[in-house]
């Protein structure tokens, strides 16, 4: 099971807590594969993390994996085992809104 931490506005939209878990049966496990399952389980999130058509990450969101910025690593990069087995969460982070 992959654990995801989502920004608060998406948690409210999907009606979930701060963290959700998804069962990814595909191999290898990538960010794209995780988001595929997340959107299947929580259809309200379709189009809110990645664009409908291009499947590109939305510009104001970033992905963090084991304290590293994976926003530009690519959706098809293989996630580390600690993410795949749920020891560490995949973080979806929203840009800070200030000003």
Partner 1 sequence: MSTVRLLVGTRKGGFVLTSDGKRRDWVVEGPFFAGWEIYHMKGSPVDPNRIWASQSSGWSGQVLQRSDDGGKTWTVAGNKFLYEGEAGTHQWYDGTPHPWEFKRVWHLEPSLSCADTVFAGVEDAAMFKTTDGGTTWNELPGLRKHGTGKDWQPGAGGMCLHSIVIDPTDEQRMFIAISAAGAFRTDDGGGSWKPINKGLYSKYIPNPTAEVGHCVHHIAMHSSKPKTLFMQKHWDVMRTDDAGENWSKVSGNLPTDFGFVIDVHAHEPETIFVVPIKSDSEHFPMEGQLRVFRSKTGGNEWEPLSRGLPQKDCYVNVLRDAMSVDRMDDCGIYFGTTGGQVYASPDGGENWQAIVRDLPAVLSVEAQTLP
- Work out which of 22, 33, 39, 48 binds partner 1, going by CB under 8 A: 48
- Whole-number Å distance between alpha carbons of 82 and 65: 9
Tokens for 83, please give them. 């993410």
In the complex with partner 1, which residue's Cβ is closer, 1 or 44?
A: 44
The least CB distance from residue 69 to partner 1, in Å, is 17
- Whole-number Å distance between alpha carbons of 68 and 89: 12
- Per CB under 8 A, does 9 bind partner 1? yes
- Work out which of 19, 51, 68, 69 binds partner 1, going by CB under 8 A: 51
Query: β-strand 68-69 against 19-22: which pairing, if any?
Result: unpaired
- Per CB under 8 A, does 81 bind partner 1? no
């Amino acid at each position: 099971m992959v654990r995801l931490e989502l920004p608060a506005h998406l948690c409210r939209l999907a009606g979930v807590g701060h963290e959700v878990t998804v069962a990814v049966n595909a191999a290898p496990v990538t960010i794209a594969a995780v988001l595929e399952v997340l959107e299947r389980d929580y259809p309200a999130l379709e189009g809110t993390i990645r664009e409908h058509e291009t499947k590109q990450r939305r510009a104001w969101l970033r992905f963090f994996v084991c304290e590293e910025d994976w926003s530009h690593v690519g959706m098809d990069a293989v996630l580390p085992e600690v993410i795949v087995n749920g020891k560490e969460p995949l973080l979806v982070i929203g840009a800070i809104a200030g000003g």
